Amino acid sequence: MGCDCGVPPGEVVVVVMLSLLVIAIIAVNIVVQRKVHKLEMQDTFLVRQHSSFQIQSITKQIRSLLSSAQVRPEKPNRTTVFVMPKVFPSFAAPSKSKSVNDWEIKNRDIKLMEKVASGSFGDVYRGEWCGIQVAIKKPSKNIPEEFFAKFLEEVEVMTKLHHPNIVMFLGACIEEDKLAIVLEYLDRGCLFDFLRDPESEKVLSYRTILKFAVDIARGMKYLHQRCGIIQRDLKSRNLLLDNSLNVKLCDFGLSRALANENKNTMTACGTPYWTAPEIICGDAYNEKADVYSFAIVLWELITRDEPYDGRPGLEIAYQVAQDGIRPALPKFCPDKYLTLMTSCWDEKPDARPSFTELLDRLHDMAKAEKF
């Protein structure tokens, strides 16, 4: 058998066989590749299925941790790694209807203890609030109608003050007929009483006097420079001492904004011994009126006495304004202190140093004395 193209029949058979072999190899290759792909697809699916399982299980664990933290917060699970803080519902959604001001304290939350002092505002009590000792300032029972506005004015001033030498305002009760100002409690009371305590003699060296003066000047500098406030009633009864003998300013009932400087006539004035002549005369005054009061406090610190021997306030006010009298200069006092004091009570407000200048002078004095 042959082919008429002239190719020998044996060679035709070889070519056909080779062709069949090539086709078979290609076919086998295709089948193998398909199988591999199928396996790979299955593998991927398995991996995906596995990770999806893991995520589901982690989510489940987190959910159970969350629910255990929220439902039973009082019994914390020691093996729990993930703890959600419990949020008090009242904090999470503050209700404006409960309290208009964030500084408002409800009367039911304060505990009144013994009376520690009485002032023109009313009585001051030691008390408790939120587990701490506090001072509670309560106005007298028969308060005039316009008093509420004055009370709010003092509260408004106090909410803005944040300084280590200013007594810390904690809040106020504004329920009708139950007004009160809540302050940090200062154990050593006011400077006026401290100076009259025989115990204070032991600690009242010039070093301590300078420290007290620096504390007061720091608080006053903050009021004038940072807050634009004139204290107007700086005196030893309005200076409080803590257990470490740090001095803090209190009582902002008469404080006024510096911005109204030119309108500040004697609509209200502090205590005559400490009041600057320009305020007594009803003239315009500025923050230097507080520097005058500081001079009288410095005199008190040095003498531990009452200015003008406790003579009637009105008589003193008249003589300060009319005759320019000042407390008698102590004979035993170093010149530096006398110069400082007399420059602070100068008749002319402009000649008095500012509290910034005063602080520099006090620091220089402390350095010179090697305190």
Ligand X SMILES: Nc1ncnc2c1ncn2[C@@H]1O[C@H](COP(=O)(O)OP(=O)(O)OP(=O)(O)O)[C@@H](O)[C@H]1O
**Footprint on this chain of Mg ion (rule: CB under 5 A):** 119, 238, 251
Task: Classify residue 57 by burial, with Cβ atoms within 10 Å: 0-12, 13-18, 19+.
Answer: exposed
CB of residue 114 to ligand X, shortest distance in Å:
11
Amino acid (1-letter code) at residue 60: K
If we measure between CA atoms, which residue out of 184, 187, 189 comes closest to residue 128? 184
Q: Which of 171, 219, 253, 349 binds ligand X (CB under 6 A)?
A: 253
Quick one: which segment of 54-62, 183-191, 196-204, 299-307 binds ligand X (CB under 6 A)? Answer: 183-191
Q: Which two tokens stand for residue 310?
A: 């406790």
Looking at residues 23 to 82 of the shown chain, list those that interact with ligand X (rule: CB under 6 A). none
Quick one: 167 or 298, whose CB is closer to ligand X?
A: 167
Rounded to the nearest whole angstrom, what is the least distance from the CB of residue 162 to ligand X in the complex? 16
> Residue 280, CB half-sphere, CA atoms under 13 Å: how many?
22
Q: Which of 103, 279, 297 is nearest to 190 (CA)?
A: 297
Contact residue for ligand X among 251, 287, 290, 300 (CB under 6 A): 251
Output the residue with the shortest Cβ distance to ligand X: 119
The string of DSSP letters for 205-225 reads -HHHHHHHHHHHHHHHHIIII
Would you please indicate which residues are annotated as catalytic (active-site) residues?
A: 233
**DSSP codes of every residue in 140-183:** -SS--TTHHHHHHHHHHHHHT---TTBPPEEEEE-STT--EEEE
List the one residue from 124, 204, 217, 280 that touches ligand X (CB under 6 A): 124
Q: Is residue 326 classed exposed, middle or buried when 0-12, 13-18 and 19+ CB atoms within 10 A define those classes?
A: buried
Report which of 343, 339, 346, 344 is spatially closest to residue 365, judged by C-alpha positions: 339
Given a contact cutoff of 8 angstroms between Cβ atoms, the answer to whether 111 and 127 are in contact is yes
| Beta carbon nearer to ligand X, 252 or 337 | 252
Nearest-approach distance from CB 168 to ligand X, in angstroms: 8
Rounded to the nearest whole angstrom, what is the least distance from the CB of residue 139 to ligand X in the complex?
8
Please identify which residue in 120, 140, 342, 356 interacts with ligand X, judged by CB under 6 A. Answer: 120
Closest to ligand X by CB, 183 vs 344, is 183
Tell me whether strands 180-184 and 132-139 are parallel, antiparallel or unpaired. antiparallel
Return the residue of 112, 117, 152, 281 that touches ligand X, per CB under 6 A.
117
The item of Mg ion, ligand X, none sharing an interface with residue 183, based on CB under 5 to 8 Å by kind, is ligand X
Query: Any residues with CB less than 8 A from the CB of 219 and at least 6 apart, and which?
Result: 163, 165, 166, 247, 248, 249
- Binding residue (CB under 6 A) for ligand X from 213, 250, 344, 358: 250
Q: How far is the CB of 316 from ligand X (least distance, A)?
A: 17
Rounded to whole angstroms, the Cα distance separating 8 from 68 reads 91
Residue 116 or 359 having the CB closest to ligand X: 116
Q: Is residue 344 a contact point for ligand X (CB under 6 A)?
A: no
Q: Binding residues for ligand X, per CB under 6 A?
A: 116-117, 119-121, 124, 135, 137, 167, 183-186, 189-190, 237-238, 240, 250-251, 253
